[in-house]
Structure formats: C-alpha cells, structure tokens
Chain A
Amino acid sequence: MSAFRVEVRVMPRATLLDPQGQAVEHALHALGFGDVARVRMGKHLVLDVSAGSRDEALARARAMCDRLLANPVTEDYDVVVDGETHR
C-alpha cells in the first residue's frame, strides 16, 4: 500500500448557469482584464488515498466522487492521481 496524492476538480455542468463564474468574470472586466471570457468556478479537493496501485487509487477516488464529492445532476468532475488527469 502506498499513499497517492489525489486531486479532484468538480465543476458546474457546462450547460448550466454559473453565477459565481459570471460575477468573477465581471469583476475581472471591471479591473481591465478585458481579454477574459467564459470564467467558470468550481471546487478543488486534495486527498491522500492509501491504495495498492495508482489504478486502485483512481477507482476509489471516482467512487468518492460518485457517492459524495460531486452531484451527478449538476456537476462534472475529473480526477488527478499523482499528477495524471483522468476524466
């Protein structure tokens, strides 16, 4: 068993309104960052997962996302295990 650093990125589903992202975008525009568009805002979780392999850590993290960390109705997620992204 070894500890894998798992990072989970949860984003509001692309088709849904993201008022927080919009507010940040407006604030950036107001500050002169007119080159910014389509700001979206989500959550970033960092966990240590004990597992026998990287694949097992990934499977466990996905199970955590499906069960708790993301809401399948409103959010999408991706998982990074020790630096490798898995959608």
Chain B
Amino acid sequence: MKRVAVIVFPGSNCDAETLAAARAAGSEAYFVWHRETDLRQADVVILPGGFSYGDYLRSGAIARFSSVMAAVTAHAKAGGAVLGICNGFQILCEAGLLPGGLMRNARLRFLSRPAWVRVEQIDTPCTCLYERGEVLEIPIAHGDGRYVVDPRTAAELEASDRVVWRYVRDNPNGSTNDIAGITNAGRNVVGIMPHPERRTAAVVGGGGDDGARVFHSMEARHATQHVVDVRAVDDRHLRV
C-alpha cells in the first residue's frame, strides 16, 4: 500500500476528490497542509487542483514558496513520484520541477468541460497501467491552461518522449504541441492539466472511469523502482 500525500494549499479545491481517488485505488492517502514541512514518509505526493492563493500574481506563483514545497522538491530530487493536477501542474512549473509555464487560455474563456487526451507515454508513475495511444475522456476546468515553453525545450520534450498526454479532437486552450501533460527528465515528476480524479467511478458515479488508472498506476508502481530514475547521458549513467 502506497502512502500518498495530498498537499492542501489555501485555495485548493480538488483535494477531497483526489484523496478519495487515491484511496479508491488502494493507497493510504492523507492530507498535508502547506505549512507542514514533513511529508510523513510519502511514496507519492500529489498537488491537487484549485486556485491556490486566488491565482494572484500568476497561477501557482505564491504556492510554490509554501513551506511544504521544500519537502516536495527534496522528494522529487530523490526520485520520488510527484503528480501535479491542474493548479498542481502550474505550481510544479513555477517551482521549476517541470519546464515551461501555463498561461491564459488562448480564447480567454474559463473552460469547464470534457476534453480528450491521448496517452503518449506509459513509463511514468501515473500511466503505467494505460496502453500507449489510448484516448481518454477527462474533464478540464481551467482559465490558465495554455502550456507554453520555448521552442528548444519543446523540441527536447518531444525528442525525449516527455509529453505524457496530448489533447486530441481539439486543442482547448492553445497549448504548445497540444500538450496536456508532461514529465521531467527523471520521469518521476508528472503534470497534467485535465482532472483524472473527476473520472473515477469511486468519486463521481457517472461519466466514466478513464482517470482512475492514474491512481491505480501510482499504487501499482513498485516503491523502489529506480529503472526509470537512471538516465544514460553520453557514456555516463546518472541518477536524476
């Protein structure tokens, strides 16, 4: 049973569903308040959706300096699994744990509706129970969802297979390369703009179950799986 810490910031509003989704997947999930500094032996850390600090200044810009983020960063640097959903993705980008940033939706509207994403990579802690190429229906609910990154980093993300989910059918927010979610070079930190916790039968009865395997994947992944944490760089192998 994995220990899953769901971080709660002032303004988080998907924390309860995320906790329920992780518990439904069999994990021992608990809340960690943003002022805490101890993740209590978490195997997995989830930064849930919402509007931390009212999205003031920029989405995630203030939350990234919360006390708990030092522990989250240390967990990530040690190879621990971290998932940021929506506002959590924004916070991970602001914290520099993921590249790029999330800006105002291209057509300005706050979007709250289903979206369709294709699973591009299955060697991440959040997608190991999906098939590559599967198309999922997962809702989006964001005003600042347009993933932006400089062209060089975008090319690097593509070349190193770090786009984990991509919007299909349409690109709702103008994201670069239709990106809906990415992972870091170590493939242990993952960010996704849509809300998988809202497509788990255990949390919301109707609407399907396409998001549930994100949480089952994290539960299923072996705690000491370091295979993906070692990257070959030139002739050296680096723990990243």
* Residues on A facing B (Cβ under 8 Å): 12, 16-17, 19-20, 23, 43, 68-69, 71, 73-74
Chain A interface, DSSP helix/strand/loop, else mixed: mixed
| B77 close to chain A: CB less than 8 A | no
- Binary interface encoding of chain B residues 102-129 relative to chain A, with 1 for a CB under 8 A from any of its CBs, else 0: 0111111000000000000000000000
Contact (Cβ within 8 A) A69 B108:
no
Residues of A within 8 A of B65 (CB): 68
| B228 close to chain A: CB less than 8 A | no
| B61 close to chain A: CB less than 8 A | yes
* Residues on B facing A (Cβ under 8 Å): 57-58, 61-62, 65, 93-94, 99-101, 103-108, 146, 148-150, 174
- Could you say which of A19, A20, A69, A73 contacts B101, with CB atoms under 8 Å apart? A73
Contact (Cβ within 8 A) B61 A73:
no
Alpha-carbon gap, A69 to B65, bound state (A):
12
**With A73-B101, A74-B148 as contacts: A20 and B57 at CB distance below 8 Å:** no
Alpha-carbon gap, A69 to B57, bound state (A):
7
Contact (Cβ within 8 A) B150 A73:
yes
Chain B interface, DSSP helix/strand/loop, else mixed: loop
Contact (Cβ within 8 A) B61 A12:
no
Report, nearest first, the 4 A-B pairs whose CB atoms are least far apart: A73-B101, A74-B101, A19-B108, A19-B104
Residues of A within 8 A of B100 (CB): 73
Contact (Cβ within 8 A) B57 A16:
no
Contact (Cβ within 8 A) B94 A19:
no
Contact (Cβ within 8 A) A71 B94:
yes
Contact (Cβ within 8 A) A74 B103:
yes
Alpha-carbon gap, A43 to B146, bound state (A):
19
What are 12 A-B pairs at a CB distance below 8 A? A17-B103, A17-B174, A19-B105, A19-B174, A20-B104, A68-B65, A69-B57, A71-B58, A73-B99, A73-B100, A73-B101, A74-B148
Residues of B within 8 A of A69 (CB): 57
* Nearest B residue (CB) for A43: B57
Contact (Cβ within 8 A) B57 A68:
yes
Contact (Cβ within 8 A) B61 A71:
yes
Residues of A within 8 A of B106 (CB): 17, 19
Residues of B within 8 A of A71 (CB): 58, 61, 94, 101
